Amino acid sequence: MQKPVVAVVGRPNVGKSTLFNKIAGSRISIVEDTPGVTRDRIFADCEWLGHKFSLIDTGGIEPFSKDIILSQMRRQAQLAIDTADVILLLVDGRVGMTPADLEVSNMIRKTKTPVLLVVNKIETKSLEKDIFEFYNLGLGDPIAISAEQALGLGDLLDEVIKSFEKSEIDFEEDDRLKIAVLGKPNVGKSTLVNRLLGEERVIVSNIPGTTRDAIDSVFKYYGEEYVLIDTAGLRKKNKIYDDIEKYSIVRAVAAVERADVCLLLIDAETGITEQDAKIAGIAHNRGKAAIIVVNKWDTIDKDNTTIKSFEKDIRSKLSFMSYAPILYISALDGQRVNKVMETVLQVSNEHAKRITTGLLNDIISEAILLNQPPSDKGRRLKIYYATQATIRPPTFILFVNTKDILHFSYVRYLENQIRNSFGFVGTPIKFLIREKSDKDGK
């Protein structure tokens, strides 16, 4: 049995994200005094009195709006409702009951899932009288809280865990492969995620910045479970006008930290940009396996030199990521999307590849014979031996007589020789340099 799922639902601007963050204990969802800011459901693992559960923060429900974003947010909230074990309907005690609250309550009353009616923004005893009108929603006794001041949260969580089934089995440490989908706004990240998932789990819109948070989605591929992380689109710093985008960037970097494999989406229509290089650098510097995915390839007029010239441009501007394979796809119509997971598994295996010390030193010795190490002021660099220290990313220790003579260009040469012999497609390689005396080297 999985951990119980608790979904926080309600119309926009009632404090869902504030409540979510107080329970989760960190600023995971965006909090801004603007209706509709939280546009996708957000997940967090939480615990109260030894009971573990997953918390979902949903996009605000606006039942009477025909706006495309708010309409899709309703559908997102419905997905959360359909999968929740407990639903928290959050309303605003200061504003009072609204027609939208009634519409939302009608929407969730159809489920057999336990529902807790939570009246937010009740900061003082004198305001508690404001909760009584919410009995008209027909959802039982209202629970008064102030998410901002963390008032009443203990009583609320006590009620939450009472609603759980008595027998709970906690998740073990999650060892599923995690795949982060990276890219600028409007490059097609959510479309690719939906195509891979086979269901509409993430809002898709042609408005840049639609996906403001990183969303985790679990799916199966040939019987194995994987986790897709759809990250917020990163913008250039000079285009960041509000705190919302700043928090999104922090989360995108955090998503890379959690990921095993990163998919860097490039827009075929605009080509490789400086911002693409910055995003790629985030994954590279953190030692993540990576695949360059050129999306919207179906929209490009092509001849027999198109791919070659496009790849040349990518390799030039992303020279530090020459190891990353390049895929040309159309997420919208599914062209070659089947190659994505095949390549993910390939680079994941390469990311975890380990080379024996004996075989590694044979390659290093051959490389030294082909190209002598550099020297300085009559002293030549000696490489005594090498060994692989870790995987993910593959990290090698070189034991040398002096670090100062070892130029980065010779390290790059050794890296190329290792790649020529062992592959390591899609993964960066790191080197640690250790000094040993000639006596120790012998």
Q: Coil, strand or helix: which one is 28?
A: coil
Does 121 belong to an annotated binding site? Answer: yes
Does 187 belong to an annotated binding site? Answer: yes
In the chain, the largest separation of any two C-alpha atoms, in whole Å, equals 90
Does 274 belong to an annotated binding site? Answer: no
Does 231 belong to an annotated binding site? Answer: yes
Does 60 belong to an annotated binding site? Answer: yes
Does 13 belong to an annotated binding site? Answer: yes
Does 338 belong to an annotated binding site? Answer: no
* Pair 321, 263: CB distance under 8 Å: no
The label of the residue with tokens 């007029």 reads 301
Does 232 belong to an annotated binding site? Answer: yes
Does 120 belong to an annotated binding site? Answer: yes
Does 93 belong to an annotated binding site? Answer: no
Does 54 belong to an annotated binding site? Answer: no
Does 8 belong to an annotated binding site? Answer: no
Does 14 belong to an annotated binding site? Answer: yes
Token pair for 87: 């639903």
Does 234 belong to an annotated binding site? Answer: yes
Does 188 belong to an annotated binding site? Answer: yes
Does 59 belong to an annotated binding site? Answer: yes
Does 185 belong to an annotated binding site? Answer: yes
Sorted by sequence, the CB contacts under 8 Å of residue 194 that are 6+ apart come out as: 200, 201, 202, 204
H or E element, residue 56:
strand 51-57
Q: Which amino acid would we find at residue 90? A: L
DSSP 151-185: BTHHHHHHHHHHTS-S---------SEEEEEE-ST
* Pair 190, 214: CB distance under 8 Å: no
Does 295 belong to an annotated binding site? Answer: yes
Does 33 belong to an annotated binding site? Answer: no
Does 209 belong to an annotated binding site? Answer: no
Q: What share of the chain is helix, strand, coil (3-state, %, to 5)?
A: 35, 20, 40
Using alpha carbons, select from 70, 66, 68 the residue that is nearest to residue 13. Answer: 70
Does 285 belong to an annotated binding site? Answer: no
Does 334 belong to an annotated binding site? Answer: no
- What CA–CA distance (Å, rounded) separates 323 from 332? 27
Does 50 belong to an annotated binding site? Answer: no
Does 11 belong to an annotated binding site? Answer: yes
| Residue 179 backbone phi and psi in degrees, to 5 | -120, 115
Does 96 belong to an annotated binding site? Answer: no
Using alpha carbons, select from 94, 95, 96, 145 the residue that is nearest to residue 116. Answer: 145
Using alpha carbons, select from 430, 412, 431, 432 the residue that is nearest to residue 420. Answer: 412
Does 57 belong to an annotated binding site? Answer: yes
- Give CA angle at 26 (22, 27), nearest 5°: 95
What pairing do the DSSP bridges indicate for beta strands 5-9 and 86-92? parallel
Does 233 belong to an annotated binding site? Answer: yes
DSSP 60-107: PP-TT---HHHHHHHHHHHHHHHH-SEEEEEEETTT---HHHHHHHHH
Does 230 belong to an annotated binding site? Answer: yes
Q: Coil, strand or helix: which one is 420?
A: helix
Radius of gyration of the chain (CA): 26
End-to-end CA distance of the chain: 58
Binding residues for GTP: 10-17, 57-61, 120-123, 183-190, 230-234, 295-298
List binding-site positions.
10-17, 57-61, 120-123, 183-190, 230-234, 295-298
